[in-house]
Every structure is written in C-alpha cells, then in structure tokens.
Structure 1
Amino acid sequence: MKNTFSFIALMFLVCSSMSGQTFEKTKNFQKFNGYFNFYYDDKTDKIFLQVDDLEKDFLYVYALSSGIGSNDIGLDRGQLGNEQVVFFKKAGNKLLLVQPNLTFRALTDNELERKSVEQAFAKSVLHGFKIEEESKGSYLIDFTDFLMRDAHGVANRLKRTKQGSYSLDASKSALAFERTKAFPKNVEFDVTLTFKGNPEGAWIRSVTPDPSLVTVAQHHSLIELPDDKYQKREFDPRSGSYPFSYYDYSTPVQEPILKQFVRRHRLKKKNPSAAVSEAVEPIIYYLDNGTPEPIRSALLEGGKWWNQAFEAAGYKDAFQMRMLPDDADPLDVRYNVVQWVHRSTRGWSYGSSVIDPRTGEIIKGHVSLGSLRIRQDFMIAQALMNKPFAERDDNYEPMLNLALARIRQLSAHEIGHTLGFAHNFAASTNNRASVMDYPHPQFELDGNEISFANAYDTGIGPWDKVTVAYSYSDFPTGTNERNALNAILEKAQKDGLRYISDQDARPTGGAHLLAHLWDNGKSASQELEDMLAIRKQAISNFSIDNIRTNEAYSTLEDVFVPLYFFHRYQTEAVSKIIGGLDYNYAVKGDGQVAVSAIDESVQEEALKSILKTLDAKVIAVPKDKLDLFPPRAIGFSRSRESFAGKTGVSFDALSAAETAADMTLGLLLHPERASRLIQQKSLDKGQLGLKEVLEETIKATIDMTQRDSYEAEVQNTINFRVLFHLMNLAAHKDVHPQVNALANESLKNLKTQLLGNGKNGIAAEMVQRIDNFMKEPGEFKVIPVPKIPDGSPIGMDCMD
C-alpha cells in the first residue's frame, strides 16, 4: 500500500481554469489535473473525463461515503463496494468501459491461447459514453451519468431488506465537490444521491428524517494499478489466510487449473538477507480522526499489536498506526483506514480491502468499527459488578476499562482481516493464541465478587505470528519458498497451535470440537459449568445499585439482559461437541489427523453440562429479583435488546426462561446434529446416539419434579419447548428417516408415561398435543418463543 505520498503531491490536484487546455468544449470549464484529467461545467453541473489511453487497465472502486445508519439494512458510512479492473475501448462514436473476466485466464505467451479463453467467457460493458470531442489522440466523454447512478445498489438493498421500493431522484441529487479530488495516481468523485419511494419497513423509518426521501453519498475512484513487481504467494489451507483464486486454462493437464494465492499487502525488506530489517515501505494504517478519546487511544494501541508479529517475522517497524490527516479522505485509496462508524443499533465491525483483482495484492485496508459496540461491553461489566453504584455514581472506571480492553482487541482483530487473515476460532482453547478469534470476556469468581482481571487479551498471539510469517516473510535469495513456508506451518503444528475458521465454527451448521464463537477454555463443558457459577453469583449480587441514582428501573432491566443470557455462547460451544468431530485442514504428508470422532466420555460430559441450562433451578430468574423489574416507565419502551414476553406490561419471567430454553434446544436438537448422531452411533455402538440424547433430555426436563410452585411453572414452560422440538424432529423433512423414527418413538413413550402419571392439567395438555401432532404431523410448525434479545458482543448477523 503506497501511503507515503507527500502533501506536496496533493497540490497536484489544484484545479486551473485554462492551463493545458486541449478541448474546445472545455475552454470555460474548471479543470482538475490527475491520473485522469477531468473538467467541471458549473452551468450544467456536469463532469467531463479526458481519456488518453485506450485499452489500458485501471482499477475502478465504488463505495458509500455516507450511509443510512442501520445495521439491519447494512449500508454504512465508508462501506466499500466491489473493485473492478476496467479499460476504455473505442467503438464507433463511443467509448465503452469494459470489465474483463479475470476469473478465467490463460497465463501464457501464446496470444491465440489467451484470446481463446478471453472469448470463451463473458465480459461486462459497464457503460457506454458518447465521444464529445477528440483532440490529439485524447477523448472527452460526459462522465456525469456514470457517476450519478446507484452503483452501490442502495435501492436494491432497501428492497431486499423489505424497507420499501425506491428509485433515484435525479432532481434531488448532485455532484459533491468537497470530496471530489484529483491526484497523480487516483481520482476521486463523490455524489449526493436521493432515493424516493414508499417506506415499508421500521428500520428505514427509524433512521431517516423523511423515510420517503433517503439521501446518501456514493464515491467513485479511478486508480492506477500497481506495477508488476508484486510477488504472489501460494495459498495453503493451514496458513490462516484468505485465498485469492482464479482458473488458468494454460495449466498443464497434470496440474490443477485452480490457482490460489494469499491476499497480502506488498512488503519487502530493505535487506532480505538480514535477520531483522526495516521494510522498503512499511504498512501504515490511519485511524479516523473523528474517533473520540479514550477510544482513540485504545484503537491505536490495539492496532499497533500487529507490529509484534511483523517483528517476529524479521521486520523492524513494518506495521505502523497513525492518525488520519484532517484533510485526508477515508476512502482515498492511498490510505489504509480504521473508521469509526455510527449506527442506530449495535452491529458488526468488519475489515474490508481493496485488492488488485489480477494478483490478490491488498492495495487498501479499510476497517469499519461500530461505535455502539463499546457500550455493550460496558453494560456486561455493569451487570456483573457487585453494587457498583452503591456509594457513588461515578464508579464507572472498572466497566470502562473492560470495554476499552475489548476495543483494543477488536482493533487488532479487524485490522487482521485487512492484512489478509481469516478467523481462527480454535485459538480460544489454546490460551488465546490469536486475536482472530471472537473472545468472550473471561471472568473469574473471587469469593462473592466477579474478577475482570483476565477479561481480554493484551497483545498479539502466537498464531498471529504464524500467519504473518507465512504471508509476509521475505526470504533470502535462493530460499526454496515452498519448503520455508512448510517449515513455518510444521513448527506451528509442533507447538500445538490449531486453526479452524468460519464454516466450522457456526453454532448450528458447525460440528468442530474446538472451534466456537465467543467461547473460552480448553474444555467447553467445564467452561459452561464455570460460567453458570459466575452467572448464579452475579445474579445473586444484582440489585438496584447496578444503576446510578435517578436512573429508571427500566434501565436496570436492560442491564440484567446480558447477565441473564450470560451463558448463551458457551452453550453453543458445548452443543457442538454432541455428535461433533475433531479435524484439521490437513494436507497429504503433514502428519495431522484429518478427522476423528469425539470421545464418548467428552460427549456425555457435554450433554450433562448443557442439560443444566434446561433446569428451572438454574435458569429461572430468582423470585427475590422480580421486584426489580416493574412495568416499563414512560420514555423507556422495550427494544430489541430487552426481554420480550406474553404478559403485556409486566415482566414475564416465564418467557425469559422459555426463550433461554428454546435457545438450548434449538442447538441440542438441531436436525443436522440429530442426523450426525445417527451416523455416529452406527459407526461405534459405544458412542452417544440420538436415542440416548432424547432420553436424557426428557429425563432432565419433563421427568423433573420441582417442588417450588414458581420453579415448577418455569419447568413446565421449558418442558413444552422440549415437546415442540421433539415434534420438530419427528416431522422434519431434511433429516435421515431414522431421526423421524426415534423422535416419534420418544413421543409415543412420552405419551404412555404421561398417561401413567395421571391426567393432571399439564400432562393432559401434553398428551392432547401429541395426539394432535400424530394426526397431522406434516402440518406441524414449531411455535415461536419471544425472540431472544440481541446479544452477541458485536451484533447478530455475521459480517465480521
């Protein structure tokens, strides 16, 4: 990334009215000199582009320079669009802007072979421009319509998210010159676009002053492509990097046609033979200068952690963090940027990149950090502290320190994505080996208090050093790169480092022993036990002194939410062990175990642990805490981060337990897990099977007797959820028929058992529901529960 342009070079953008004039049409236009010269006619509000080189590739990137502010809609300030290699081609009286198809190539000196592949696959003509004037081999085109279009797909996104049907209103749109600039190697255009339409969704209504008129700004960049000195590095599935891929049809038959390389910034040592050397040009990231303190200092500190990994790879000061100059544009391709993004609700932070589509070279890293994220960590700490505001209302420092600790880790995490690195969700089981995991805060019991001392990591992890070494090591001349890269990965394996990424870590589709989101500890089951103990103590401590003087009790209820659901992510982790697998991204010859079943005792321990989250004694809101949650005060309506229920204005303790139980059951009795358990049992009769899981679940819930009347009703609420999830497995169409058979058998046995217990009201209702289900199983649908509040530390939908 070339970020060291001097500000003298910025003076190149200075516009002049007449200098270097080549076109008669533009003699009264304002001229901007840059990578492409362009002209502005203020009488017609048009921009004309000067094209000097035909069929010369350059990079086109579009983005949102101002967004909508809704995480759910997903149109954020600074959001990058797709980068595209394009070129201008003359066709009669037009210039066509052509995007070649770089997915399919022939990297050969045989021109006819290259053309055969080029002609075999479609390309895209992005726009056609009438030639306004030609002079000395240069062409003048009206670029305005190309700029004033919905390149980012705002209208489509609004429609897709069911917010309404919108179309661009040209009468309320205009060029925006405060962010339209010209530089020697890139030109930047900014436009204000207004979309008119019929607002249909609540999200768009919540973030716009007039939801029938939605105004955003879109940005267009024309960029000189990097030179051909960048060296691609082979991708390895064990490396922790993202693959950059294309198909090379000139490949010999005995070799794979799919080519894969790591995505990385260009980084070279000044002295490749030296053990430690400065970089020819360091990687510099700039922090949004609109970021407030103390967040600013935390983000700078966390981002700088990466220099530890580059130092371990033999570089001195190769990764740097600075503040973005006040006059710099965050979307300017010359700056890697960490941007502070505001939304109306909490949402994901994410790291994006502009890459060279020809090679995978990262040209610009761009991180978007949601500004409300820090407030959730603050609230988690506030809920877990014992009477933090009993004596004074300014005792917020412990909560703020925890939130800032997470922000440091978040800065490092998202920058890691823009350096080319994928998630490593196995790292949390290995003493926090990577900032590329999702860290749940690690708390410990200290008597009756909850200790925050070890909540988050404080630096780069050993796995992060491996990924940097693989992607960025600059080997001395004569080194066999493949052997050197293998040595890096073999050492990591010998050191016990594990790497498992996204597709294997998701709570429902995933099945890996170690790779979980927001988990902690080597043993997921033991960690759940520990978290339930912390939750119990924190709930026991919870009081009116968890909020400040003069704050509404309704605020106290919202603080209680993350505490009540404190166990939710470790529950996800434990559920994946049941019917799960242990495996690696192994390659032939590396000595790793490709895949193995999880030991029966480990699965049984996981089942025992997770079933505790279906016990009313564990999951019920204690009776002595219910008086803390009166009906909501005026001005403090429930939100998506509040408890939901069925009792109107009053706090619904039964629905809280119902929602928590449904979360567990949706994971434990997930159809894919049920099918895996069938297969697992068939391969090893001593293993845990679906029949045992169903029996143990019923034993721990419907067979459970709670003597306290309140806890009995909580248990009844949980038990009905068990019944519905059994019915779901019995009727589900996307499972092995054996799953249907075992679930139906469980329902029949349960009916017999309930009838044997006597027809009390609850038992009779369950029997009736089983009978109704048996009559028309195809009509069954799981009755929804009150929605679980948003709770992931950074949002609900994965973009990170």
Structure 2
Amino acid sequence: MHIRVLLVATLLSAVFSSGYAQKKKQAPAANPPAFSTEGMQKAEGFLTFYWDEKKGKVWLEIGRFDTPLLYYTSLASGMGSNDLGLDRGRLGGEHVVEFRRVGPKVLMVEPNQNYRALSENAAERLAVQEAFAESVLWGFDVTSEQGGTVMVDATPFLMRDALHIPDDIGEMKQGKYQFDATRSALYLPRSKAFPKNTEFEVTVTFTGSQAGAYVRSVVPSSEAFTVREHHSFVELPDDGYQPRPFDPRAGVNSISFYDYATPIDQPLEKRYITRHRLEKKDPSAAVSEPVEPIVYYLDPGTPEPIRSALMEGTAWWNQAFEAAGFRNAFRVELLPADADPMDVRYNVIQWVHRSTRGWSYGMSIVDPRTGEIIKGKVTLGSLRVRQDFLIAQGLVADYQAGKPVSAEMLQLSLARLRQLAAHEVGHTLGLPHNFIASTESRASVMDYPHPVVKINNNGTLDLSDAYATGIGDWDKAAIRYAYAQFPEGTDEADALAQLIQDNQKNGLHFLTDQDARPLGSAHPAVHLWDNGASAVEELQHVLRVREIALKQFGAQKIPVGTPLATLEEVLVPLYLFHRYQAEAAAKVVGGMRYTYALRGDGQEPLAFVAGDVQRKALAELLKTLSPSVLALPPSVQKLIPPRPFGYRANYREVFEGSTGLTFDQLAPAAAAADLTLSLLLHPERAARLEAHHAVEASLPDFTEVVTALLDATWRSGKATGYAGAVQEVVNQQVLDRLLKLATNATATAGVRAIAGYELSRLKTDLKNGHIRAGNALSYYALAQIEQFERYPQALELPSPARIPDGSPIGSDACGN
C-alpha cells in the first residue's frame, strides 16, 4: 500500500510539474489590443465614457485605481404614485467604492465603512479591514489599455435594475414584475460627464401580471411599465473637511461607524454630524463672508406664484447662518438654463408631480466616511398645496357668482409652501424633524405645522397667522451647532457643550420622529400637526373652530357650476379638523415628559404628567365621542347628493360609507369616533397607565380610563333621532375596540384582564336594564360579549371604520 501511494504521488507530481513547465515556457500574454473609438460619441469628465451607437454599448475609461469615489443610484423618472414610493428623484444608498485592477479584470469594490481603525498604524488598519467583509459590486473585463488607463464595457453594469423595483412592487402586493432587458436601453439625454461626477441614465422596463390598484392607476398598461434609473459616480471631497462630533440633544443628523483604534476607556462607536462644508474667509471675525456659500437652485419648471413662495421660504435659512456667524452664506437661485441638475455641484429643489397628493422629501448625498454633505436634493410634491387650499376652502370660502374669491385661501396655501420649502431644505442642511417645537412658540420649521386659526370677536375665523414666517429659534440653534466656526485656540468640545447649555437655558428642546409618530407614544408635547403649549387647551380651541366652520358649511364652499357632490371633499378635512390635536391630547393620558438627557447635563430625565392634567385631557377627548360634536349640522345632512356621471370619487379622500352611492350621514361619526378610541385604547398607552399608577397612586390607571369611556358612551343615556343613531355607532365601536383589546396578544395580561372585566360589567348592566341602548344594539352587545367569554378565538369583529387620508396621505413616511 505504501508503494502505491508513493507511485500515485510521483505521477501527480510529474503531471503538475509538466503543466507548470509548459506554462513557464509560454510567452507572456500580449497587452489587450488597441481599441478604436472612431465614430463613437465621447463624454469627457470625471469618468470619461464613449457611446457606441451601432452596438448600443457604453465604453468606460478607468484610470483611477485604488482611489475612493462615491457611487449611488436614483430614480430619474418615477411611477407617479406616492403609495408606491417610486418617485422622481428618489435616492438609493451611497457607496464608497474603488476600482481595483486584477489582471484582465477591474473589480468595483466597496470597502466596509462600518468598521474602521482611525490610526496612523497601517498594520492596525489592515487588521480591521481583513476582519470584516467587503463587497465586490461588479467585475469588468478589460478591453484595452493605454498609459495606465483601461477601457471596459460598462453596458451590462448599467443595463440592469439597480433599484430592485420589483421587490418594492411585490412588498406592496401590487403585482409580480421582472426586469425586461429587451425593452430597456441607455437614455442618452441624461448620460453625461461633468468635472466632478459622471452620470448614466437607463430606460428600464418591467413586465408582469397581477397589477394592484396603485400600479393600474398610474401606468398606461399594467402589463408593462417603464421608468428611468440613474447611476452616479462622484468625486469624493478632499481631506480638508473636519468632522464634528454628534450630540443627540443638538438636533443634527449623523453617520456612525465602529473605530477599533479607540482606547479601551472610550466608546467604540463613533458618530459624526452631517453638514455641508462651510468656512469663514476670516476665521477670527465674529461674522464673516464664507469662502464658498451654500447655494440651492430651484427647478425652473415650478409655476408662479408657487415659484416665488418656494424661493422666499428657502431663503429664510440665511437668517440661521447669520446667527451662526456667516454673512451671505446661503442663497437660493433659479437653476440657470445652461446648468444641469445632475451636476453634483448644484443643490437642487425639484417640483414633482404625482397622481395623488403625497409627501415631500429633503435628501442629501453624504460622504459616508465623514458626514460631509456633497449635494442637497429636495423633492416637493405639487399636489400638497391643493390640500392646503382645500382646508382653507372649508374654513372661509364663500363662493358667490360675480364676486372675487377670498384671497385668504391662496395666502394660506402660499404661506404653507414657504414653510414647506424651508422644512425640506433644512433636511438637506443636516437637520431632522423637531416635533416639540410647535409647543415652544413655533420654534422650528422642522416641525409639521397645522394651520393656526384664530376666532375673531364677531365669531368669524381668521387665517392671517396660519403659518409662521421665517426661521425659528431652534433652527438657528441647530445650525449654530452644526456650522459655527470658533476662533483659533478655542476648545471646540467646550464651545459645543456651551451651545447645548444655552439651548436649555433658552427653553429650546429637541425630540424627533421616534417620539412623535407612534400612536402609542408618551410625550405630551411631541406630535405631528399640533399647536400650542397645552395640547388639551388647543384641542378645546380647535373644536370651537370646527364648530363655527361646520355651522357655516354649505353650497357656497364650492364654486358656482361645480357638482354639489364634490362638497364631500371639502367637508372631510373640515369635519376631521381636530384629528391631529386629538392625537396630541391623547398623549397626555398616560403621558411622560422626558429629554435626551446626558449624565451631568442637569436635565430632568423624565416626569409623569400630573394626574389632574391627564384627567382633564381624558374629559376633553371623551367630548369628541359625543353626538353633539359628531353629528352633522342639519344644513349638511341633506346637502351632498350621489356623484354625477363623469365625476368618480377618490375614495381615499372621502368617508367610506355603507349606503351605496349615497352619502352616508353616519360614516363621518364612525371614522372620527374610531380615531379617538384607537388612541385611548391603545395597548401601549393602557400598559403605561397601569405601570405609572403602580409607581404613583395619584395617576389614573387603565380601569379609570375605561370606566370613564363607558360612562360617556354606553351609560350616558339613550339619545333619539339622528343624534341617537350617531350614539349607537359610537357605542358599537367602543364595544368592538374593547373586544379587540381583550383578545390582543400584544397587550399585557393585565390590560387584557381589565378590558375583559369591564366587558363583563357592561354585560351585567345590559342584562339588568341599567343601560338603555336600544333593543337591537343591546342584543348584539350581549351576544358578542358572551361569545368572547365562551370562545374568544372564534370571535369575529368588523374592521375599524376607515378614516380618510390626512397627513398628507395617512402613511407613516418621513416628509412633509
């Protein structure tokens, strides 16, 4: 056996030695043949490329090897549906990449920026680099080489679905689609090379089936839809930028990574804020001109008077930079005719159209290594302003034949656009939302503003101060932290800490999306679309505004000659005018004030909302369930006819009724009531009430809340007529919501137990005749509760009443 092993080993050695010898004898591979670009269209710039029209190919010159550059993708032309989120201008993620030459190939490699070693020691940096995976995003075959520059065929890299659009469509259950290369091609008008970036755009087509309603509503044929995807290669900034540390209290966005060169006694994770590079010409001066100002360019396709409003609102930011020590550091201009919005040197504000109203966005292209903002890109949805006009229409419109339309409606809409432009540009300057600002004298444009409507002494409504004008005090503070340049010799860490302390002394605070968006969230002053220092007092005011406007509601709210059925679109935002302030007031119940406190900064980390304040909020919220609030005025009950021929309703914008083609007079009450109930009976709020009461007995517990709710509805006595019908709708929804909570697996056992116990008490009251709810509703309630007690798994409950879209489309996206 040993002889056989030796023989086999000898033979194998001979074979491999022979092969190696043959390879050694072979002549070295010749250089790639010369490549002719004759007849091709050349685009010279950051990465020069050639377009071969005959073969439909893109040839890319690569001469920058082992040098970092930025690559990102974006959607150049969108679907036109806010729900799908595939909007014109949507950005993909940034990737720091480098081209690496490996024999006949060029690899496009993305090093791992999440794990680094900020050290002068090359071996220490290499140890981290080799510990974590990197990503090879593409491999190119070298076609020719000359003077260290190679030519590669970039066509396969470009001709693909880089944004994974079918995945987005599939997640939305809007159909099954796949990329169709036979119907896709390079889009030459938007494929260009600039001094600091090279851009490619591709027309991409997707084919498929089972298209959903969102897709069908915006494409000519649901069998195939075509959009354009964009590839960007951008020169990264030089190393002259100085990163600034992140502070959670400062209200500035950040990047983060792990630095394995960090001393053991310091945090491993590093965080830098995101900001544009801005430097003073005279660093010693308290106020100085900038070396280079920050300039934003507005889409010239924006119509007047919207264009002027957007430019005015954007220009407000110069106020903040002046407060930070810069003179004329921020400008807004109309994009010149000879400029291209793709050029990375231009910060742009785009005016984007969709089939439905939707969010606007402020996005930035950021150097992932340092947090430096390279380019700001704002997307403003064109239909948003029409919703603001509709709100004003419901409040003050009085269309009369031969008379001019009230100027207040347009003034309110343009005021909102100024604020919107400032808000979205603020995101591209590095600022996140600040949702506590509306309770601190409208301190920031980075909040979501609800129109402030005042009531005149004669009972009329006043929209003159609907939206704030100019940059707020918090915005100036945040820009100061991000951009202020301190005199030479200043300890920057101490100076930044002092800015934070100044904010606290001046009563300026910062809390953002994570604290505002969840319906079950706890802070009583952090919410979207609210106003006023007191959520409860503002709810009282908003309900008065709503009452005045509803009493005045009539045919004069739409122009003469408009179908009366379209009054419903005007009615919806007016009837639900209190919806966001109700959400804000609900956070007072089981509420807790807190800050992003750091140890030693002197801030109070948390405090429960006082019991009497919580009970006042509960009482005000329960009023929103009263027939006196929810019932439509008699003048409205018989005002809205079915839709006429040719006027299809957008059912997301109107109440979902149960009466067929006719307007359902009970549907508005059902939608508004269910909103309040979803807030009061939220499982997180219920659990918090129990936990807080256990710590402080003076605070209401969940039992107190449910008892008050049943007292205000089922046990309040039987109304008659239309008001009685509204009351039955509310009572039924209270029952359904309690049953849902009692069977909700995500609720705590204690919350489910309380809900079940209160249902059993309700059953006893119904059986003993202590509640006069009407025979049919009483029978339904008893049957449902008994089914719950016997076999809760088999309990079938109706879906909650659908509330029309609102902010501005009812989704939880980021934007304004």
TM-score tier after normalising by the smaller chain length: over 0.9
CA–CA distance in structure 2, aligned partners of residues 340 and 319 of structure 1: 21
Find the counterpart in structure 1 of residue 79 from structure 2.
Answer: 68
C-alpha deviation, 1:782, in angstroms:
4.5
Q: Secondary structure at the match of 1:635?
A: coil
Distance (whole Å) between structure 1 residues aligned to residue 809 and residue 662 of structure 2: 29
Q: CA deviation at 1:155?
A: 2.0
CA–CA separation in structure 2 for the residues paired with 1:202 and 1:789? 17
**SS of match in other structure, 1:277:** coil
> Does the Cα contact within 8 Å between 2:256 and 2:272 map onto a contact in 1?
yes
Normalising by structure 2, report the TM-score. Answer: 0.94
Greater alpha carbon shift after TM alignment, 619-628 vs 518-527: 619-628
| Contact persistence 1:354–1:364 (CA under 8 A) | yes
**1:193 alignment partner, one of 204, 207, 224:** 204
Counterpart position of 2:535: 524
**Distance in 2 separating the partners of 1:78 and 1:487:** 39
1:7 maps to which residue?
none
Aligned to 2:14: none
Q: Return 507-516 or 491-500, whichever deviates more.
A: 507-516
Verify the 8 A CA contact 1:507 1:572 in the aligned structure 2: no
CA distance in 2, matches of 1:204, 1:302: 34
CA distance in 2, matches of 1:537, 1:793: 24
Give the equivalent residue in structure 1 for 2:805: 790
Partner of 1:3: none
Task: Provide the C-alpha distance between the structure 2 equivalents of 1:89 and 1:498, rounded to a whole number of angstroms.
Answer: 48
**In structure 2, C-alpha distance between the alignment counterparts of 1:263 and 1:778, rounded to whole Å:** 51
SS, match of residue 225 in structure 1 = coil
2:413 equivalent to 1:403: yes
The partner residue of 1:94 within 101, 105, 111 is: 105
Moved more, 150-159 or 572-581: 150-159
RMSD of equivalent CA atoms: 1.4
**CA apart distance, 1:396:** 4.5
Q: 1:361 aligns with which of 358, 372, 376?
A: 372
- Matched with 2:725 is 713
User: How far apart are 1:622 and its partner, in Å?
Assistant: 2.0
Distance 1:392 1:125 in 2: 69
Quote the offset at 1:662 in angstroms: 0.6
Question: Alpha-carbon deviations, 1:667-716, whole Å to 9, x = none?
Answer: 11001111111101100111111010000000111112253311011001
Pair 1:729–1:625, CA change in 2 (3 A): same
Q: CA offsets per residue over residues 553-607 of structure 1, 9 Å max, x none?
A: 1111111110011110001001111111100011112111011111111111110
Structure 1 residue 56: deviation in Å? Answer: 1.1
Over 3 Å counting, the alpha-carbon distance change for 1:176 and 1:319 in structure 2 is same
Q: How far is 1:329 from its partner?
A: 2.9
Q: SS at the partner of 1:315? A: coil
Secondary structure of the residue aligned to 1:84 is: strand
* Runs of at least 5 residues in structure 1 that lack an aligned partner in the other structure: 1-21
Q: Which residue matches 1:4? A: none
Partner Cα separation in structure 2 for residue 779 and residue 111 of structure 1: 66
**Superposed, which structure 2 residues align to 1:341-490 within 5 Å?**
341-385=352-396, 388-392=398-402, 394-446=404-456, 447-490=458-501
Distance 1:650 1:534 in 2: 28
Aligned to 2:89: 78
Post-superposition Cα deviations, 1:329-358, rounded to whole Å, max 9, x if no partner, equal 323211111111110001111111100011
Which amino acid is 2:42 matched to?
K
Please give the residue correspondences for 1:537-686 in structure 2 after superposition, counting only pairs within 5 Å. Answer: 537-639=548-650, 640-686=652-698
Q: CA offset at residue 199 of structure 1?
A: 4.3
Alignment of 1:198-277 (within 5 A): 198-277=209-288
Q: Aligned match of 1:334 in 338, 345, 350?
A: 345
Q: 1:489 to 1:392 in 2, by over 3 A?
A: farther
Could you tell me whether the CA contact under 8 Å between 1:64 and 1:219 is conserved in 2? yes
Query: In the alignment, residue 656 of structure 2 is paired with which amino acid?
Result: A
Distance 2:63 2:635 in 1: 78
Tell me the residue number matched to 1:317: 328
Shift of 1:165: 1.6
Query: Which SS does the other structure have where 1:326 is aligned?
Result: coil
C-alpha distance in 2 between matches for 1:362 and 1:782:
51
Among candidates 789, 800, 807, match of residue 774 of structure 1: 789
Distance 1:779 1:361 in 2: 57
- Opposite residue 763 of structure 1, the aligned amino acid is S
- Kept in 2, the 8 Å contact 1:347–1:796? The answer is no
Percent identity of equivalent pairs: 50
Secondary structure of the residue aligned to 1:763 is: helix
Is 1:59–1:223's contact at 8 Å kept on the other side of the alignment? yes
Q: Tell me which of 157, 168, 179 is aligned to 2:168.
A: 157
Q: TM-score, normalised by structure 1?
A: 0.95
Query: Once the two structures are superposed, what CA deviation does each residue of 1:192-218 show, in whole Å capped at 9, x if it has no partner?
Result: 111111142011111111121211111
Cα deviations by residue, 1:513-550 (Å, 9 ceiling, x for unpaired): 21011000011011111111110110000110011110
Q: Give the conservation status (yes or no) of the 8 Å contact 2:115–2:129.
A: yes
Cα distance between partner residues in 1 of 2:402 and 2:103 = 78
Per-residue deviation, residues 425-450 of structure 1 (Å, max 9, x unmatched): 11111110000100000001123311
Q: Say whether the 8 Å CA contact 2:627–2:727 is kept in structure 1.
A: yes
- Per the alignment, in what secondary structure is the counterpart of residue 403 of structure 1? helix
What whole-Å deviation, never above 9, does each CA across 1:420-474 have from its counterpart, x for those lacking one?
Answer: 0011111111110000100000001123311101100011100001000000001
- Checking the alignment, whether the CA contact within 8 Å between 1:189 and 1:219 is kept in structure 2 is yes
Separation of aligned partners in 1, 2:351 and 2:302? 6
Q: Give how far 1:741 is off.
A: 1.4
Structure 2 distance, partners of 1:701, 1:221, is 59
CA contact (8 A) 2:486 2:492 kept: yes
CA apart distance, 1:393: 5.7
Moved more, 191-200 or 57-66: 191-200
Change beyond 3 A, Cα 1:494–1:780? farther
Q: Contact 1:347–1:795 (CA<8 Å) still a contact in 2?
A: no
8 Å contact 2:243–2:273 — kept in the other structure?
Answer: yes
Alpha-carbon distance, 1:220 to partner: 1.2
Task: Give the deviation of 1:726 after TM superposition.
Answer: 1.1
- 1:105 is aligned to 116
Partner of 2:24: none
SS in 2 for 1:515: coil
Give, in whole Å, the separation in 1 of the partners of 2:266 and 2:793. Answer: 50
Which secondary structure state, in structure 2, belongs to the residue aligned with residue 247 of structure 1?
strand
**Which of 779, 791, 805 is the aligned partner of 1:764?**
779
Q: Describe the shift of the 1:150–1:404 C-alpha distance in structure 2 as closer, same or farther (beyond 3 A).
A: same
**Is it true that 1:740 corresponds to 2:755 in the alignment?**
no
Bigger drift between 429-438 and 105-114 goes to: 105-114
Counterpart AA for 2:65 = L
Residue identity in the other structure for 2:434? N
Q: Which residue of 1 aligns with 2:28?
A: none
Q: Compared with structure 1, are the counterparts of its residues 615 and 631 closer, same or farther at alpha carbon in structure 2 (3 Å cutoff)?
A: same
Counterpart contact for 2:515–2:521, Cα < 8 Å: yes
- The reply on whether 1:499 has 2:510 as its aligned counterpart is yes
- Residue 285 (1) aligns with residue 263 (2): no
Q: Which runs of 5+ in 2 are unaligned?
A: 1-32
Aligned to 2:27: none
Aligned with residue 751 of structure 1, among 750, 756, 763: 763
SS state at 1:389 partner: coil
> What residue in structure 1 maps to residue 8 of structure 2?
none
- The match for 1:702 among 714, 721, 726 is 714
Which of 285, 308, 316 is 2:319 aligned to?
Answer: 308
